[in-house]
Amino acid sequence: MIIKPKGTVDIIDEEARIWKYVEELIDSMMEKYNYNYIRTPIFEASELFHRGIGNTSDIVTKETYDFKDRGDRSLTLRPEGTAGVVRSFIENKMYGTHNLPVKVYYNGTMYRYERPQLGRNRELTQFGVEVLGSRDPMMDAEVISLSYNLMKMLGLNDVVIHINSLGDKESRDNYREALKNYFEPYLDQLCEDCKNRFHKNPLRIIDCKVDSSKEFFKKAPSILDYLNKESKDYLDKVLEYLDILEVKYVVDDKIVRGLDYYNHTVFEIMGEDGKLALGAGGRYDNLVKDLGGPDTPCVGFAMGLDRLVLTLRERDIKLPLKDNAEIFVMYINEEEKKYAIYIANELRMAGFRVETEYTARNLKSQFKRADYFNSSYLIILNSDDLNEGLVTIKNNKTKEEEKIMLEYLIYYFDEHLDDDEHSESEENHE
């Protein structure tokens, strides 16, 4: 038996229906916030991620899936979505052809060679948004509140945004210096990774999970004390706007993020247990320029859908998942079967979710199958009725039956299946 690669998942059955629900909610929410869908390649030139995410980040040093294609090109499966969106923005010259800011969202698989565990996969799915071309703190607040509101709409009312600022370059340079001075005497007590970070990227020492319990660690300088006035004002404005949007947040100076492109706002979306981040993001004003485009300030975030669905299931949150097939068309003989094929097709084209029989089972088995699909209505075809232009409809909840004219079927279900998605078909039949 061939089994799936380590760190990948099959999403099936009930879980798949939750995924679909979440993804449809995301699409409809993005429409309301006026973000356009964007789809970029799953593999890109390796250099994009090395330059974009940063050569010292864990993702690039330890986690990318790199390969050479048959033309000897160095390619990498995308470990995240931001770098690809920025590349696309530059390559398609969106800065010239679009009205800024460009607001886009994506939903797709990413690849990271991590040690698999609950909520940590090697093939993961992220929903993310990127806004390119605005330096207004209002934009940071919109992006944060959008992720927060999505959680609330899914019934996750206890999420808290952990927010911090990495300031501008001047603030970060000063902070980096302060961290180096502080940690230097403790260098031999730091973990191997942090010894490396000390030289290459001291900011990352701050979110080390290994060293954080050590006593000297707790007294390490805070970035908040090193923000210059401009950076401090920027953070204050973001917080002020978050208050207007009624987002629950805590300022958390331990959030520094694992990707190198951030400045000013950084944040993580934490569930109640505060263990795994459901999502994360921040402002990255220099990435477009670093990748060869014009100076374009940006902000965005990405949410791990695997973790989100896991959390919904762990909490046993009941979502209004749709019945599999609201109408089940039943028949026995060949003549009825032809009507079944015709009726199922007509109803599907009118916007109803319809199932029928494909393996010539007896009626009893067809009833069972209809129950399995949670069907609300059964259309029970029989030749005598059909000869008179009639069909029997059974309400599968009340068990009441009635006969109606075949040509009124669509009107009947328009009236009896009260569902938003049929409003279009209702209009069409008026």
To ligand HAM, the closest distance from the beta carbon of 230 in angstroms equals 21
What are the beta bridge partners of residue 108?
126
Q: Give whichever of 249 and 413 is closer to ligand HAM, judged by the CB atom.
A: 249
Q: Give whichever of 303 and 327 is closer to ligand HAM, judged by the CB atom.
A: 303
To ligand HAM, the closest distance from the beta carbon of 384 in angstroms equals 58
The DSSP call for residue 329 is: E
Please report the beta strands in 97-199, taking only residues with DSSP state E, as ranges in sequence order.
102-111, 123-132, 160-165
End-to-end CA distance of the chain: 55
To ligand HAM, the closest distance from the beta carbon of 31 in angstroms equals 20
To ligand HAM, the closest distance from the beta carbon of 38 in angstroms equals 12
To ligand HAM, the closest distance from the beta carbon of 378 in angstroms equals 42
Find out whether 53 and 87 touch, Cβ atoms under 8 Å: no
To ligand HAM, the closest distance from the beta carbon of 262 in angstroms equals 7
Token pair belonging to 67: 């390969």
Q: Give whichever of 94 and 124 is closer to ligand HAM, judged by the CB atom.
A: 124
To ligand HAM, the closest distance from the beta carbon of 40 in angstroms equals 12
CA trace torsion 39, 43, 44, 47 (10° rounding): 140
String of DSSP letters for 239-250: HHHHHHTT--EE
Q: What is the number of alpha carbons within 13 Å of residue 81 lying toward its C-beta?
A: 28
- Our measurement of the distance from residue 363's CA atom to the centroid of its chain's CA atoms, rounded to an integer in Å, reads 42
To ligand HAM, the closest distance from the beta carbon of 156 in angstroms equals 13
Binding site for ligand HAM (CB under 6 A): 80-82, 112, 114, 119-121, 124, 126, 128, 130, 258-259, 277-282, 284, 300-304, 306-307
Distance of CA 134 to CAs 117, 241, 299, Å? 37, 15, 8
Token pair belonging to 333: 């003989």
Q: Are strands 160-165 and 327-330 parallel, antiparallel or unpaired?
A: unpaired
What are the beta bridge partners of residue 29?
none
Q: Give whichever of 60 and 278 is closer to ligand HAM, judged by the CB atom.
A: 278
Q: Give whichever of 279 and 351 is closer to ligand HAM, judged by the CB atom.
A: 279
Q: Minimal CA–CA distance to 46: which of 70, 23, 65?
A: 65
| 414: helix, strand or coil | helix
To ligand HAM, the closest distance from the beta carbon of 275 in angstroms equals 11
Q: Give whichever of 104 and 370 is closer to ligand HAM, judged by the CB atom.
A: 104
Q: Give whichever of 252 and 419 is closer to ligand HAM, judged by the CB atom.
A: 252
Find out whether 106 and 38 touch, Cβ atoms under 8 Å: yes
Q: Give whichever of 261 and 377 is closer to ligand HAM, judged by the CB atom.
A: 261
Cα distance between residue 102 and residue 188, in whole Å: 47
Q: Give whichever of 209 and 397 is closer to ligand HAM, judged by the CB atom.
A: 209
Q: Give whichever of 44 and 80 is closer to ligand HAM, judged by the CB atom.
A: 80
To ligand HAM, the closest distance from the beta carbon of 80 in angstroms equals 3
Q: Give whichever of 80 and 260 is closer to ligand HAM, judged by the CB atom.
A: 80
Cα distance between residue 205 and residue 401, in whole Å: 70
To ligand HAM, the closest distance from the beta carbon of 300 in angstroms equals 3
| 116: helix, strand or coil | coil
Q: Are strands 327-330 and 377-380 parallel, antiparallel or unpaired?
A: parallel
Residue found by looking up tokens 């404005």 in the block: 237
Chain residue whose CB lies nearest ligand HAM = 304
Token pair belonging to 351: 């916007």
The sheet with strand 74-77 has its strands ordered as: 43-45, 74-77, 65-68
